[in-house]
Chains A and B, each alone.
Chain A
């Protein structure tokens, strides 16, 4: 099954991408120079689909049959937590993500957890804010600095 899963997924992706490309605005022929805007993406999509079929037939999966480790799924779950917390404050999300990731990956020393969850994000914030003059989105924590 693994042999077909990725190519079939690619074919489904190609079908959606091709359909989306048919929805692009078209340039009236009298104004057109070169290609219509959908032609190039469609050419690429067709090539991907053709190669996906070739992979299915000639290039079976031989590596990585086992499932991703549990820790990978946990890490991806933490991405979701980050995405939610970033709505409140980007750096709150980063701090919680970094601390939780370190904890899940086996770090138990308080100073190390504080380093990745508090010192790291704070350092990065001030580095980008003060040195590179990057303005971050306002949030619960950044408002303390921006006022």
Chain B
């Protein structure tokens, strides 16, 4: 209880509240800008938070996460271009509604659903994260190693790549994490004589490169795309009939989103797709979906915003990112010298609760920003790409330089951007690379500690029940879909044919 109110007190600073308000506006702008999303926005903002107090820094990053996820709906509804991939399903019904002259109603529903989903997920976060952390408090290195392996195995299902390519990208990230001094033996690896690399490759330049600079190159291919805006008269709050129609959908999607968010590495995009599909499956009028069903907007938006709170559960309690943006936030925590995990809830509980309160606050701010500012923020999407991206590049380069004030980081960011662009072209998602880079050091350290603890008898890890459970879950995450297809789907298809 002390920690709960301590966190609230830490947030009661007017300066910090003003920063959170600005970050909400900034997050909404980022979410509405073409090509920028919550992950890129958080990566670009990371250098700005370096000199800040850790609470302010992480509160700002989480605020941007929540606000940008919400703002994707604005452009999805008004110009049929999802500001973030998590809002892609919102286009399906939001844009048709806008074309029918009901853009205000669609945006109103998106705002209310997002707010409700976000608040519910933060309440779950407040309850679940400390419990999970308490459970994990007694984990020994083998359990942590197995848990980290499980977290990495979940990379198979994220991003746009196929599972094998995602795992390769994740492993490349882990390999990058081995650059620098080995933590156990202090032997230098892959440093090529650069002293700056002794401490390893920084998260910030790589994140800026693979999310920001690679997106610049992607945008170079979309210069000819024309956007059409739907005229919107005013934002309308959903009617009582609308509420009656969607309250179950909002509740269901909020639950789905929170659960999906809690799963390591799964984020708002997956949540919104499942939330939307479930809304259609349970609807009395599924034929209206895709033509402007208000339930479709509620299902998608409640799910994607509730995933933000869910994603912070494993991030803070276990140190395993719950989504790509949570990975950037995790990097932010590490840059500030904070170690996410069970000890955060014992040694820095005020800090953890301050983040929860900040997320709760930003979800309340959505109502005002969404209802009164959507019309204005939709205009942001029309900033010409030739003006926007050179400025983003300037921020990216200076941001990459700022953390260690090293030009090597600038070259790393540009290199990571080019590599990231080609990865995306060849169907390798860059998200697993980022998460692999963050978890790589942790994975090696815990493997080394486990080997020391078990006297080099690594197979003894399988005799520890919890570690074994995580290894079984890893196996299922990697091979489950294949086994399902091979042994469950095929016989049933054969039976249907018969």
Is B447 a contact of A52 with CB atoms below 8 Å?
Answer: no
Is B174 a contact of A132 with CB atoms below 8 Å?
Answer: no
Closest to A104 in B: B386
Known contacts: A21-B189, A105-B223. The answer to whether A41 contacts B178 by CB under 8 A is: yes
Q: Restricting to B144-185, which residues have a CB under 8 Å from any CB of A?
A: 162, 164-165, 167-168, 171-172, 174-175, 178, 182, 184-185
Is B387 a contact of A37 with CB atoms below 8 Å?
Answer: no
6 pairs, A vs B, C-beta closer than 8 Å:
A27-B187, A71-B220, A75-B217, A105-B385, A106-B223, A107-B386
Known contacts: A48-B172, A61-B427, A132-B48. The answer to whether A101 contacts B189 by CB under 8 A is: no
Is B390 a contact of A44 with CB atoms below 8 Å?
Answer: no
Interface residues of A, count at CB 8 A: 68
Select B390's contact among A68, A102, A135, beta carbons within 8 Å.
Answer: A102
Residues of chain A lying within 8 A (CB to CB) of residue B50: 132
Residues of chain A lying within 8 A (CB to CB) of residue B171: 44, 47-48, 51
Residues of chain B lying within 8 A (CB to CB) of residue A97: 390, 393
Q: Restricting to B418-457, which residues have a CB under 8 Å from any CB of A?
A: 418, 421, 425-428, 444, 447-449, 451-452, 456
In order of increasing CB-CB distance, the 10 nearest A-B pairs are A98-B390, A105-B386, A107-B386, A34-B448, A37-B187, A37-B182, A116-B390, A71-B220, A102-B386, A41-B178
Interface of chain B, main secondary structure = helix
| Bound-state Cα–Cα, A25 to B187, Å | 6
Contacts from B to A (Cβ < 8 Å): 47-48, 50-51, 162, 164-165, 167-168, 171-172, 174-175, 178, 182, 184-185, 187-190, 216-217, 220-221, 223, 384-387, 389-391, 393-395, 397-398, 401-402, 405, 407, 410-411, 414, 418, 421, 425-428, 444, 447-449, 451-452, 456
Closest to B48 in A: A132
| Bound-state Cα–Cα, A105 to B223, Å | 7
Residues of chain B lying within 8 A (CB to CB) of residue A69: 220-221
Known contacts: A76-B418, A101-B389. The answer to whether A54 contacts B221 by CB under 8 A is: no
Residues of chain B lying within 8 A (CB to CB) of residue A86: 407, 410
Closest to B448 in A: A34
New contact pairs (4) apart from A134-B401, A135-B405, CB-CB < 8 Å:
A10-B168, A41-B190, A71-B221, A102-B390
Residues of chain B lying within 8 A (CB to CB) of residue A140: none
Is B427 a contact of A63 with CB atoms below 8 Å?
Answer: yes
Known contacts: A51-B168, A79-B418, A136-B401. The answer to whether A72 contacts B394 by CB under 8 A is: no
Is B168 a contact of A34 with CB atoms below 8 Å?
Answer: no
Closest to B423 in A: A6
Contacts from A to B (Cβ < 8 Å): 6, 10, 17, 20-21, 24-27, 32-38, 40-41, 44-45, 47-48, 51-52, 54-55, 58-59, 61-64, 68-69, 71-72, 74-76, 79, 82-83, 86, 90, 94, 97-99, 101-102, 105-107, 112, 115-117, 120-121, 124-125, 128, 132-137
Is B172 a contact of A35 with CB atoms below 8 Å?
Answer: no
| Bound-state Cα–Cα, A38 to B167, Å | 21
Is B168 a contact of A38 with CB atoms below 8 Å?
Answer: no
Residues of chain A lying within 8 A (CB to CB) of residue B167: 51
How far in angstroms is the closest Cβ of chain B from A31?
8
Residues of chain A lying within 8 A (CB to CB) of residue B190: 17, 20-21, 41
Is B185 a contact of A37 with CB atoms below 8 Å?
Answer: yes
Known contacts: A94-B397, A120-B394. The answer to whether A35 contacts B425 by CB under 8 A is: no
Is B221 a contact of A132 with CB atoms below 8 Å?
Answer: no
Closest to B421 in A: A72
Is B394 a contact of A35 with CB atoms below 8 Å?
Answer: no
